[in-house]
Structure 1
C-alpha cells in the first residue's frame, strides 16, 4: 500500500535536482493518479507538456483525466494534440480513447473511424475491438458488432466485458446456444463480479 508514497518521495527528491525533466513530471503525475490526487496529476502533466511540447503520452493522459471528469471537449482536444506528433509511439491509445468519447456521445460513426484506426495500428488490440463492437451496435450493424466482439475475446480470452457484450448480442438475435456459451465464459473468467451476476441473469432467461 505504501508503494505510491515511496515512489512519490523519490520522484519529488529527483525533481529538486532535475526540475526541468518532463519525464519526471509525467512519472509524478502517474503516482499522484494512483493516490487519487487528480489536481496534482493534472498539474504535473501540464508541466511535462510545457517542458516538452510534443509529449504525446502526456497529452493522451491529460485527455484521459478530462474524460474521467466528464469534460469531453477538453479530452478530445488533448487526444488530437497527442496525434499531431508523427513520432508518437502509441497512436492506438489516443484513437481508442477518442472512440470512447464518441461512444459516450453516441457519435458512433466518429467512434468507428478512430477505433478502426486503433486496430489497424495494433491488430490485436482487444479493448479497441470491444469498443468497435459497441459502436457498430450503435449503428445497427450487428454482423460487424459480432465480428469485433469475437475479435476482442480471440485476442484476450479473459475479456469478461466482451463476452458479456457478445452474449447480449447473440441473445437478442435468438442464437441461444452461442449466447449461453458466451454468458458462461463471463462467469468463468470473472466469477463473483457484477458482470458475472448480469450474465447469470441472462442465463436464467435462456
Structure 2
C-alpha cells in the first residue's frame, strides 16, 4: 500500500514505549504496523529487527536488519544485531556465519575502542573454531573493559581448548575476582589450576572448595575435588567428596557414572583405613552396576581381611564370574574357601588361577602346599617343579621341591634338589638343614653334621639346624 509515514511514526513510538515497559509482545505488534506503514524506513526496520531478535525470531529479523544497515551503514549497533541474528538463525548456513563474522568485524572497525565489539567478534571466531583469532579478540576485550567477566571466561575457555592451562587459569582467576559468586567460574579455575605445566593442586582444591560452598550439589565439582584430594594424600577428604558427588547425582540417571564415583569413594575410604565405610561404598557401586568387577573384588578383599569369609567367598565368586580371566579373583576365592575348610573348592580355584597365570610363583606355592597337606605328593612335586622353572635361581623353590620329594620317599631326588638350592642360592640356610635331615635318614651322619653346621654358619640363629645338630650330638 501507500506509505503512511505519520502512522508509521505513531506505531514506532508505541512499539518503543512497549519495549521499554518490558512488553515485547505489544512492541512486536506495533513495530509490525510501523514497518507495514513505511517499509523503506531504516530506523523502523532496525527497531523491528531488534524486537524480533529479542522475541527469539532471528530468521525473521535478518531481512529487516539487512535493510537497517543499508540505510545507515555507519551505525555499529545495527551490525551487532545483524551478526547476532545470523548466528542464532535456525539452520544457519556457512554463508550466514561468514556474514555474521563480517558484521562483527565491521562493528570493530566502526568502534575500535569498544570492548563489547571485540567480545562479540571473539564469540564469532569461537563458533567458527578459530581459537587463535578468538584469543586475540577476547584479549583486546579484556584490555578495553577489564571488568567484563564474560570476556575473561571466554578467554579461559579458549585457552582450555588450546590446552594452554596456565593462561586459562589466569583468565579464570580474573573472572573469579570480578564475579566471586559464580560457582562455575571457580570450578573452571580449579580444573585449570590442576592442569598447569606445574600443577598447583592446593590452589585447585581451594578454588573447587569455593565452588562447593556456592553450589554444593555440583557433581563435576565434587568429583574433581575427590580426585585432587586423592592426589594430595587426603584420603578421608577425598572419600567424603566422592560421597557427596554420588549423593548429588540425579536418581536413576547415569548409574554407571555414579557407580564409578561410589567405587572411588570406596578406594579412598579403604586407603584411610575406614574399611566398613569402604565396603558400604563398594556395595552401593554394585547396586548401581551389578557387573562392576573392581567393586566386587575390592569389597571381597576387605571382607576377607575382616575375617568375614562367607561374604568374601560370595564376592570373590562373583568376581570370577564377572571376569573369568582374572587369576587374582580365583586365587583369593580359593583362600576364602580354604578358610572355611573347603579344600576341594580351594584347589579347583587355585588350579584355574594357575592356568590363567602360567608364570605366577605364589599361586603355585599355595596350590602345592595344599597338595602337601592332603598328602598328594606327586601333584605337589609337579607344581613345585613348575616353580623351579619360573624361578630357577631361587633357593626356596628348589628347597620346596626337595621337601616334597623327601615326603614322597624320593631321597635321591630330594638331595639333588637341596644341593641345587645350595648351588643357586648359597646363603639359603633352610636348604642346608633339610639336606642334613636327608643325609641323616640315610645314615650319612658325617654329611648330615656338615650340612647342619653350614646352615648355622649362614644363620647362627636358625633354630631347626641348632636342634638337629644338638640331637645328633647326643647320639
Range of TM-score over shorter length: 0.7 to 0.9
Deviates more, 1:28-37 or 1:57-66: 28-37
Q: Select 1:58's aligned residue among 329, 332, 338.
A: 329
Residue 133 of structure 1 is matched in structure 2 by: 402
* Secondary structure, counterpart of 1:106 in structure 2: coil
1:6 correspondence with 2:279: no
Q: CA RMSD in A?
A: 3.3
Residue 203 of structure 1 is matched in structure 2 by: 469
* Secondary structure, counterpart of 2:437 in structure 1: helix
Is the alpha carbon distance of 1:114 and 1:181 closer, same or farther for their aligned partners in structure 2, counting shifts above 3 Å?
same
Q: How far, CA to CA, are the matches of 1:69 and 1:150 in structure 2?
A: 38
Paired residues of 1:152 and 1:162 also in contact (CA < 8 A): yes
Q: Select 2:380's aligned residue among 111, 120, 136.
A: 111
The Cα of 1:65 is off from its aligned counterpart by: 3.3
Q: How far, CA to CA, are the matches of 1:156 and 1:8 in structure 2?
A: 43
* Secondary structure, counterpart of 1:6 in structure 2: coil
What do the CA deviations read for 1:43-74 (whole angstroms, capped 9, x no partner)? Answer: 32122113212222111222233344443221
1:15 correspondence with 2:282: yes
Residue 454 of structure 2 is matched in structure 1 by: 181
Residue 102 of structure 1 is matched in structure 2 by: 371
Deviates more, 1:15-24 or 1:97-106: 15-24
* Secondary structure, counterpart of 2:409 in structure 1: coil
What do the CA deviations read for 1:131-187 (whole angstroms, capped 9, x no partner)? Answer: 211111123222331343355565494x66545433422443321122222255455
Paired residues of 1:149 and 1:165 also in contact (CA < 8 A): yes
Residue 149 of structure 1 is matched in structure 2 by: 418
Residue 193 of structure 1 is matched in structure 2 by: none
Deviates more, 1:5-14 or 1:47-56: 5-14
Paired residues of 1:100 and 1:131 also in contact (CA < 8 A): no
Task: Find the structure with the greater CA-based Rg.
Answer: 2
Is the alpha carbon distance of 1:112 and 1:89 closer, same or farther for their aligned partners in structure 2, counting shifts above 3 Å?
closer
Paired residues of 1:183 and 1:202 also in contact (CA < 8 A): no
Deviates more, 1:59-68 or 1:161-170: 161-170
Residue 198 of structure 2 is matched in structure 1 by: none
Q: Select 1:49's aligned residue among 320, 325, 333.
A: 320
Q: With the length of structure 1 as denominator, give the TM-score of the two structures.
A: 0.72
Paired residues of 1:167 and 1:183 also in contact (CA < 8 A): no
Paired residues of 1:4 and 1:35 also in contact (CA < 8 A): no
Where does the alignment leave 5 or more consecutive residues of structure 2 unmatched? 1-269
Paired residues of 2:361 and 2:390 also in contact (CA < 8 A): yes
Paired residues of 1:95 and 1:115 also in contact (CA < 8 A): yes
The Cα of 1:6 is off from its aligned counterpart by: 0.9
* Secondary structure, counterpart of 2:352 in structure 1: helix
Larger RCO: Structure 1 or Structure 2 (Cα < 8 Å, ≥ 6 residues apart)?
Answer: 1
Residue 92 of structure 1 is matched in structure 2 by: 361
Is the alpha carbon distance of 1:69 and 1:129 closer, same or farther for their aligned partners in structure 2, counting shifts above 3 Å?
farther
Q: Select 2:349's aligned residue among 78, 81, 90.
A: 78
Count of residue pairs brought into register by the alignment = 194
Paired residues of 1:32 and 1:40 also in contact (CA < 8 A): yes
